[in-house]
Amino acid sequence: MSNPVLNFCIRLMKWLPVVFITLIVLWSYYAYVVEMCVFAITSLPQKVVYLVLYHVFFLIFVWSYYQTIFAPVGKPAQEFYLSKADVDRLEHEDREDRQQQYLAQMAKDLPLVTRTIGGSIRYCEPCQLIKPDRCHHCSMCGTCVLKMDHHCPWVNNCVGYSNYKFFVLFLGYGLLYCIYVAGTSVEYFIKFWNKELDDTIGNGRFHILFLFFAAAMFSISLVSLFGYHLYLVFSNRTTLESFRTPMFRHGPDKDGFNLGSSNNLKEVFGEDRRLWFLPVFTSFGDGMSFPTRRTSEDSHQLLNDRQRWAEEGEGDVSDRETALTTVQPPGRSRMHVEAET
């Protein structure tokens, strides 16, 4: 039996990284607004411009960060969960092949294109559900997460379908925030080293010194992380998929969900470009079914059909290809690249 006091302590410890980031951000606010803009800068127009621009970057950055933290984890719909009778039937079956037959029967009407490495239906035993495509179980959150990217301790939340847009914006606006702070404070950092700062600001000089160093260091770390996730967005991959290639019916395919840069971007940020840069949810779809690119499986099927028709001599091959393309016109194969509503 679990210890409630221990569980509470564990939950509390998970919030420490968030508290740490929050304290760093609050300190940076004090150092920039009070110590630098109020006391160190003597020009009033410069103060006004610096403060206005700073608060724009600060507010959009904080908004994105806390959207990432408090966005509910995306969970599979009820139809992916097994009934108690189905779970009992599955657990009491000793033969693995029969278990897979049961799962395949229960998943026949679900929109699934991915499989396990062994080609079986992906099943989560702790959650007792058939996993939707790109869904994974998070041991930290204790649940299956739709389009799971990774569990991030700095937001104490899983990054997935419900908050991936917020996470990317958080990285981008965090980078802009740090670059802006470093760029506008470097002048006073240089004055500190040259001992040209007014002595009346006292210990405020050290706040400005550490403010520049902190902003510069966070900029270096964020630029690589933000660049990596932009690459994932344009490739339509998650962090998990970049390390472990998704398995489809026809085999592993690292670009199986790649719809082209434009469609990949819309899948995360939505169709309305006016909302792309705001931390509001606009991601495409339901997080449980995803359009996939045309795969080599389609080409192989067509080649096999052509060979069979040629061997059987049943009519002209070109006529049959015409009939086939009438059923599945170009751009609308059974695994097409355009997301449909």
Residues with a catalytic annotation lie at 152
8 A C-beta contact, residue 34 and residue 203: no
Q: How far apart are CA 213 and CA 186, in angstroms?
A: 9
Helix ranges, the chain (H): 4-14, 16-29, 44-70, 84-91, 96-106, 164-193, 204-235, 239-243, 261-269, 296-312, 317-327
Residue 220, burial from CB neighbour count under 10 angstroms (0-12, 13-18, 19+): exposed
Strand, helix or coil for residue 52: helix
Residue owning tokens 């966070």? 218
DSSP labels, 300-336: HHHHHHHHHHHHHT-S-HHHHHHHHHHHS-TT-STT-
Between the alpha carbon of residue 101 and those of residues 90, 120, 129, 312, 336, the distances in Å are: 10, 9, 15, 35, 28
Which DSSP letter does residue 278 get? Answer: S
Rounded Cα–Cα distance for residues 61 and 230 (Å): 17
Coil vs helix vs strand at 81: strand
Strand partners, 157: 152
What CA–CA distances, in Å, run from 304 to 255, 297, 309, 311, 321? Answer: 24, 11, 9, 11, 12
